[in-house]
């Protein structure tokens, strides 16, 4: 990830800590990543891995303040998101970076018509007139594949299906032509057949508008084949980070490998016992001192429980892939796991 | 590793554990309208086998699961548990019969009384049936161990002190406590994390095998259903579109809707080596309209016709019945010959 001259997004050693009555919770703990223009990155992890908090921290929705501490830097198009004033951050939202959330209904105002959701932001950011903003709203709805966009613009959110609502939310995110779209579990609330349509839409829009995309998901299947790179998170840390095909074909981190192996796929005969990861993720209020995956890892040694592994280059990977493991699987993985 | 099927496949017919005929469930929504949740579903579960019910939200799969245990009873149709016809029983007889058929719900946390301890939750069934409290500790510990929980740690905890996966194990322990013949699982892993899902699926797999349980497994995830079932029933808008053996179902599936479900599956889940499930499956599925029609006013004839690329006038006029196209493989479609051309 170093070849691009000026990355669109560069996050360095980002940590987001929530102060709770029971102690400091390090939801994101020292994550560094960068994203070039037009590139797609998948962030994958289980619930509690910090993937959504990372997404919000990158966007500047979670900032340093009472109860929360954000350290490290997030450079977006050359500007440090966390050094800006609130007004400065607001100016970035919509035009530089936009976000799509999991549940489309909570992103939409139930008493506002669809067209108003879209025309509002273009009037605010782009200064269009009422009539021009209405036209732009219909155009945006057409762009995200909504049939009869003019009629839909006059309807309320409850009159649309879940898939259509998520298209509207995507249209809202696109309204001011952001250069980075962060989609946090954009299809989790949708039916399987609709999921594919929404992911296809995000992919084609990304290519068409040359927009970089961060796709956050707990579902490896969603990420596979749809992103250039993937970052695997576990308990607030980045454990592996490489080209998507590399992670799926040759996972170096035992967690990545176990996660991929634990999903049933159609090639398995019925009644196959899945290689499950025993145990559960650690409590982030009191994480284990060394590698956070060590208590569940079959390869763990004393070194793993004592000292956290640093992200180092993956063996034989010249594309900037990295893994944080004292015992990366490498070629010996068939024999050991 | 692969487990042998629960019962040898050859000596048919196996003793039926659960049979349903012509199940209909409708929910009135006022103004004379009603939701046609389930419209004439037949179901056969041989003893010791697992039947998967597959479909998207709103297809009626959960309603079928609930109708099977009479929660609520179907508006018409019959359900037989072994030799007993549940739909014909009086309240007291039904209460007795229900001990033989147990259900596991999707959200394990809300399925458990938050104020009771794990040991009391697990012992609730036996205490209702008047089992001696003297056996409680040993039996509760045994069942907790059987579902992979450490009795010492969890026995005196309440649900909020457990993770989602642990709560689901408690729900499974509760269901097993009464030694049922049939287990109905309604999306038992969809609220769980990926790494925990595999643990629970493995637990259900080994438990049903060891205890000779028959199971109805309801889920929306094709690969999960395929992996745990012997036979898969695909539902769409209250009707059955296809019933087929799970082994090789991704290759044999013939109904346009089943093919659409398979084509919607992310690549990683289609097969281990990343190759498409069907030759040429990478092509876009030719779906006409994306939206599920309203179950208040389902389409005439074949209910899938509004989204089906093969739909003709006949599909609107005449509802297709289930026809057997291969041993154990039944499909409700007028255009079986053409479905092979689909992605």
Q: Is there a single domain that holds both residue A175 and residue A252?
A: no
| A166 at interface of B, judged by CB pairs closer than 8 A | no
Q: Is there a single domain that holds both residue A52 and residue A181?
A: yes
Pick from B74, B70, B86, B68: nearest CA to B38: B74
pLDDT attached to residue B158:
94
| A298 at interface of B, judged by CB pairs closer than 8 A | no
pLDDT attached to residue B279:
36
Q: A244: nearest CA in chain B?
A: B268
Q: Is there a single domain that holds both residue B202 and residue B329?
A: yes
Q: Is there a single domain that holds both residue B206 and residue B301?
A: yes
Q: Is there a single domain that holds both residue A167 and residue A46?
A: yes
**Residue A336 within any structural domain of the chain:** yes
**Residue A213 within any structural domain of the chain:** yes
Q: What is the DSSP letter of B58?
A: T
**pLDDT of residue B282 exceeding 60:** no
Burial of A298 (0-12, 13-18, 19+ CB in 10 A): exposed
Q: Is there a single domain that holds both residue B267 and residue B187?
A: yes
pLDDT in tens, A116-144: 999 988 888 888 899 999 999 999 999 89
**Residue A6 within any structural domain of the chain:** no
Instruction: State the sign of the Cα–Cα–Cα–Cα dihedral A188, A192, A198, A202.
Output: positive
Range of the domain at B63: 16-100+180-339
Mean pLDDT of B99-128: 93
Task: Kindly write down the DSSP assignment for every residue of A46-61, as one continuous string.
Answer: -TTSSHHHHHHHHHTS
pLDDT in tens, B216-248: 999 999 999 999 999 999 999 999 999 999 999
Q: Is there a single domain that holds both residue A194 and residue A182?
A: yes
pLDDT attached to residue B340:
67
Distance CA B190, CA B224 (A): 10
Instruction: Compute CA distances B76 → B38, B102, B237, B329, whole Å.
Output: 10, 22, 17, 26
Q: Is there a single domain that holds both residue A94 and residue A140?
A: yes
pLDDT in tens, A154-196: 999 998 888 889 999 999 999 988 999 999 999 888 888 888 8
Q: Are the CB atoms for A100 and A186 separated by under 8 Å?
A: yes
3-state SS, residue B238: coil
Q: Is there a single domain that holds both residue A134 and residue A182?
A: yes
Q: Is there a single domain that holds both residue B85 and residue B29?
A: yes
In this prediction, the answer to ipTM > 0.85 reads no
**Range 83-112 of B in CB contact (< 8 A) with A:** none
Q: Is there a single domain that holds both residue B90 and residue B59?
A: yes
Provide the β-strand partners of residue A272.
Answer: B2
- Sheet with strand A79-80: strands edge to edge: A23-35, A9-20, A68-76, A79-80
From A169, A200, A227, the end of a domain falls on: A227
Q: Is there a single domain that holds both residue A128 and residue A204?
A: yes
**Residue B6 within any structural domain of the chain:** no
3-state SS, residue A181: strand
pLDDT in tens, A274-333: 888 888 788 888 889 999 999 999 899 999 999 999 999 888 777 789 999 999 987 454
Distance CA B191, CA A236 (A): 21
Q: Is there a single domain that holds both residue A188 and residue A47?
A: yes
**Range 219-258 of A in CB contact (< 8 A) with B:** 219-222, 224-225, 248-249, 258
**pLDDT of residue B173 exceeding 60:** yes
pLDDT attached to residue B275:
38
Q: Is there a single domain that holds both residue B289 and residue B331?
A: yes
Distance CA A108, CA A116 (A): 10
| B163 at interface of A, judged by CB pairs closer than 8 A | yes
Query: How does strand B101-104 pair with strand B182-186?
Result: parallel
**Residue B190 within any structural domain of the chain:** yes
**Residue B300 within any structural domain of the chain:** yes
Q: Is there a single domain that holds both residue A180 and residue A212?
A: yes
Q: Is there a single domain that holds both residue B84 and residue B223?
A: yes
pLDDT in tens, B79-96: 999 989 999 999 999 999
Q: Is there a single domain that holds both residue B295 and residue B154?
A: no
Instruction: State the sign of the Cα–Cα–Cα–Cα dihedral B87, B91, B96, B101.
Output: positive
**Residue B4 within any structural domain of the chain:** no
**Residue B231 within any structural domain of the chain:** yes
Q: Choosing among B147, B194, B210, which should be mutated to test the A contact, i.e. which has the most A CBs within 10 A?
A: B194
Domain count within chain B: 2
**Residue B3 within any structural domain of the chain:** no
**Residue B277 within any structural domain of the chain:** yes
Task: Kindly write down the DSSP assignment for every residue of B149-217, as one continuous string.
Answer: --HHHHTT--GGGS-HHHHHHHHHHHHHHT--SEEEEESTTTTS-HHHHHHHHHHHHHHHHHHT-EEEE
pLDDT attached to residue A193:
82
Distance CA A272, CA A275 (A): 9
Q: Is there a single domain that holds both residue A212 and residue A282?
A: no
Q: How distant is the alpha carbon of residue B188 from its chain centre?
A: 9
Q: Is there a single domain that holds both residue B53 and residue B72?
A: yes
Mean pLDDT of B8-21: 72
Provide the β-strand partners of residue B36.
Answer: B26
Quickly count helices (H) and strands (E) in chain A.
13, 12
Q: Is there a single domain that holds both residue A237 and residue A308?
A: yes
Q: What is the CATH number of the domain that holds A129?
A: 3.40.50.300
CA quadruple B256, B262, B264, B267: dihedral, nearest 10:
-150
From B147, B179, B211, the end of a domain falls on: B179
Percent of chain B past pLDDT 90, that is, above it, reads 66
From B154, B179, B204, the end of a domain falls on: B179
Q: What is the CATH number of the domain that holds B196?
A: 3.40.50.300
Domain count within chain A: 2
Mean pLDDT of B323-333: 93
Task: Kindly write down the DSSP assignment for every residue of A128-193, as one continuous string.
Answer: --HHHHHHHHHHHHHHTT-SSHHHHHTS-GGGS-HHHHHHHHHHHHHTT--SEEEEESTTTTS-HH
Kindly determine whether residue A271 and residue B2, on different chains, have CB atoms separated by under 8 Å.
yes
Kindly determine whether residue A276 and residue B198, on different chains, have CB atoms separated by under 8 Å.
yes
Query: What's the Rg (C-alpha) of chain A?
Result: 21
From B126, B152, B179, the end of a domain falls on: B179
Q: Is there a single domain that holds both residue A160 and residue A109?
A: yes
Pick from B3, B219, B257, B224: nearest CA to A265: B224
Q: Is there a single domain that holds both residue B84 and residue B186?
A: yes
Range of the domain at A253: 228-266+277-337
pLDDT in tens, A73-118: 999 988 999 999 999 998 899 889 999 988 888 899 999 999 999 9
Distance CA A124, CA A150 (A): 21
pLDDT in tens, A252-267: 999 999 988 888 888 8
Distance CA B331, CA B321 (A): 8
pLDDT attached to residue B271:
57
3-state SS, residue A210: coil
Q: Is there a single domain that holds both residue B160 and residue B50?
A: no
Q: Is there a single domain that holds both residue B142 and residue B257?
A: no
């Amino acid at each position: 990830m170093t070849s691009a001259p000026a990355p669109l997004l560069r996050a360095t050693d980002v940590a987001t800590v929530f102060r709770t009555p029971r102690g400091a919770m390090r939801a994101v703990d020292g994550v560094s990543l960068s994203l070039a223009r037009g590139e797609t990155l998948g962030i994958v992890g289980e619930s509690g891995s910090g993937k959504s908090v990372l997404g919000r921290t990158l966007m500047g929705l979670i900032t340093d303040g009472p109860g929360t501490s954000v350290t490290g830097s997030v450079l977006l198009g050359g500007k440090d998101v966390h050094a800006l004033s609130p007004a400065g951050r607001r100016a970035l939202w919509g035009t530089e970076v936009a976000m799509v959330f999991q549940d489309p209904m909570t992103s939409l105002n139930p008493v506002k018509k669809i067209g108003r959701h879209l025309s509002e932001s273009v009037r605010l950011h782009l200064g269009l007139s009422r009539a021009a903003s209405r036209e732009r709203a219909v155009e945006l709805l057409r762009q995200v594949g909504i049939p009869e966009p003019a009629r839909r613009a006059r309807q309320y959110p409850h009159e649309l299906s879940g898939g259509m609502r998520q298209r509207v939310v995507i249209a809202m995110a696109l309204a001011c032509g952001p250069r980075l779209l962060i989609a946090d579990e954009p299809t989790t609330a949708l039916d399987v057949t609709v999921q594919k349509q929404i992911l296809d839409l995000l992919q084609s829009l990304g290519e068409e508008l040359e927009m970089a995309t961060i796709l956050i998901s707990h579902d490896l299947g969603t990420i596979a084949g749809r992103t250039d790179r993937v970052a695997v998170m576990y308990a607030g840390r980045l454990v592996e980070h490489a080209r998507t095909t590399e992670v799926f074909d040759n996972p170096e981190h035992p967690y990545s490998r176990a996660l991929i192996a634990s999903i049933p796929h159609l090639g398995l005969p019925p009644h196959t016992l899945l290689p499950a990861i025993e145990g559960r993720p650690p409590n982030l209020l009191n994480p284990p001192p060394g590698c956070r995956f060590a208590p569940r890892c079959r390869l763990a040694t004393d070194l793993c429980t004592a000292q956290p592994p640093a992200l180092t280059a993956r063996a034989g990977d010249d594309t900037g892939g990295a893994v944080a493991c004292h015992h990366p699987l490498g070629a010996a993985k068939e024999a050991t796991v | 590793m692969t487990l042998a099927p629960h019962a040898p496949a050859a000596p048919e017919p196996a003793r039926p554990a659960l049979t349903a005929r012509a199940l209909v469930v409708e929910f009135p929504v006022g103004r004379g309208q009603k939701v046609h949740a389930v419209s004439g579903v037949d179901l056969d579960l041989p003893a010791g086998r697992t039947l998967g019910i597959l479909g998207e939200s709103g297809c009626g799969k959960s309603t079928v699961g609930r109708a099977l245990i009479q929660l609520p009873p179907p508006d018409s149709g019959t359900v037989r548990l072994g030799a007993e016809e549940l739909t014909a029983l009086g309240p007291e007889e039904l209460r007795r019969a229900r001990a033989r058929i147990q259900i596991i719900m999707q959200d394990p946390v809300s399925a458990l009384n938050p104020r009771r301890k794990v040991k009391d939750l697990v012992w609730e069934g036996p205490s209702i049936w008047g089992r001696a409290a003297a056996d409680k500790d040993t039996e509760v510990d045994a069942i907790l161990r059987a579902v992979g929980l450490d009795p010492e740690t969890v026995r005196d905890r309440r649900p909020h002190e457990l993770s989602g996966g642990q709560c689901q194990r408690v729900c499974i322990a509760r269901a097993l406590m009464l030694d049922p013949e049939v287990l109905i699982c309604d999306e038992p892993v969809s609220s769980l994390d990926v790494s925990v899902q595999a643990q629970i699926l493995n637990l259900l797999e080994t438990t049903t095998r060891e205890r000779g349980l028959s199971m109805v497994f309801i889920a929306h995830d094709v690969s999960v259903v395929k992996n745990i079932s012997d036979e898969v029933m695909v539902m769409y808008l209250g009707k059955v579109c296809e019933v087929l053996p799970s082994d090789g179902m991704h290759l044999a599936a013939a109904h346009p809707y089943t093919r659409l479900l398979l084509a919607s599956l992310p690549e990683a889940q289609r097969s281990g080596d990343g190759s498409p499930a069907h030759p040429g499956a990478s092509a876009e599925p030719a779906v006409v309209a994306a939206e599920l029609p309203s179950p208040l006013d389902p389409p005439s004839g074949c209910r899938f016709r509004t989204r089906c690329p093969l739909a003709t006038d006949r599909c609107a006029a005449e509802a297709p019945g289930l026809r057997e196209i291969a041993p154990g493989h039944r499909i409700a479609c007028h255009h079986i010959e053409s479905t092979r051309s689909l992605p």
